[in-house]
């Protein structure tokens, strides 16, 4: 069975997606098209490259998350390092370690650019702060004078993962202007609509969304550093709990991630396993009630569910 998949952002909690994917694959689903924003773009990119859920689990558990918080530049200085790094670099940590890691994983499957992936199969959502708009790679490459087939997948995903303030924005030089590219979740953290069209859906689109606990803890804002941390936590928590319209809710696998923070890069193997298990449980509950025909009848009533000829899927 074919399906499309769209992954929300969620930082390190994205490990939970792998558990949900394992259940979907066990149910017989294969992915026609995939998309993601922030950490969801990493999962989407790896799926588009040909990774299966069990392979994803292995590489996610082996990944040294602490390497993503490597102190460079001003950040090496005590006390004043954080504010200085933010002032000079617009973010605390560089994106290079994550981009290099993803580039290596994709290379293992023979993927470097979007040209190495079946056309239309992968979309990555990014925020262009300079232009003040959402960007979808590779679709929007021509806007920047770029050839879609030559744009690196790892670069696009790294842009999508650049959480403001926490990570340094990536720069895209195009047509005489430098664009600052950051986390796609700034403008669209759950683009489950990306593959929707006016036609009757030939297969379902499943959304994968992480839901954390609302924190009741009072956060310190006594200095600039604490203020920045509180701002990030509040922004991420707010995005988690944005309302989802009913037509999208019924096709969404909501995965509870407990108190784990999106920027908790010191996760233990036990905590990773808990997130993975949460994904499994959420997906099992979802597929027990999922009915594609019922979805089409209620939310796409203009189209017949049965007796309509469907297009042949492309090879993936």
Q: Which residues are catalytic?
A: 38, 183
* Burial zone of 73 (CB within 10 Å; 0-12 exposed, 13-18 middle, 19+ buried): middle
Half-sphere exposure of 213 (CA within 13 A, CB side): 8
Compute the C-alpha angle 263/255/64, nearest 5°: 35
Give the ranges where the chain is alpha helix by DSSP (H): 15-26, 39-49, 53-62, 81-89, 96-107, 153-160, 224-240, 246-249, 269-289, 292-299
| Contacting residues for 218 by C-beta, under 8 A, at least 6 apart | none
User: By the 8 A CB rule, do 276 and 57 touch?
Assistant: yes
């Amino acid at each position: 069975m074919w399906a499309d998949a769209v992954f929300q952002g969620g930082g390190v909690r994205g490990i939970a997606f792998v558990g949900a994917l394992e259940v979907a694959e066990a149910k017989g689903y294969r992915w026609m098209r995939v998309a993601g924003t922030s950490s969801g773009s990493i999962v989407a990119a790896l799926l588009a490259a040909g990774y299966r859920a069990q392979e994803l689990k292995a590489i996610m558990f082996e990944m040294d998350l602490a390497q993503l918080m490597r102190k460079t530049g001003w950040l090496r200085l005590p006390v004043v390092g954080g504010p200085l790094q933010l002032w000079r670099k617009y973010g605390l940590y560089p994106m290079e370690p994550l981009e290099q890691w993803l580039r290596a994983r994709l290379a293992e499957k023979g993927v470097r650019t979007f040209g190495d992936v079946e056309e239309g199969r992968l979309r990555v959502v990014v925020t262009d702060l300079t232009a003040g708009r959402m960007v979808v790679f590779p679709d929007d490459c021509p806007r920047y004078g770029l050839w879609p087939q030559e744009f690196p997948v790892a670069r696009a995903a790294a842009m999508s993962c650049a959480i403001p303030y926490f990570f340094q924005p990536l720069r895209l030089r195009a047509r005489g202007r430098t664009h600052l590219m950051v986390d796609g979740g700034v403008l669209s953290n759950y683009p489950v609509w990306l593959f929707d069209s006016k036609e009757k859906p030939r297969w379902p689109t499943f959304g994968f969304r992480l839901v954390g606990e609302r924190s009741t803890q009072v956060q310190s804002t006594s200095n600039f550093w604490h203020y920045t941390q509180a701002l990030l936590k509040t922004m991420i928590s707010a995005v988690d709990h944005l309302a989802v319209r009913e037509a999208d809710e019924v096709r969404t696998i909501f995965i509870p991630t407990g108190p784990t923070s999106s920027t908790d890069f010191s996760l233990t193997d036990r905590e990773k396993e808990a997130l993975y298990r949460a994904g499994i449980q959420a997906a099992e509950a979802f597929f027990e009630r999922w009915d594609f025909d019922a979805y089409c009848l209620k939310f796409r009533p203009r189209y017949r569910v049965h007796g309509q000829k469907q297009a042949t899927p492309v090879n993936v």
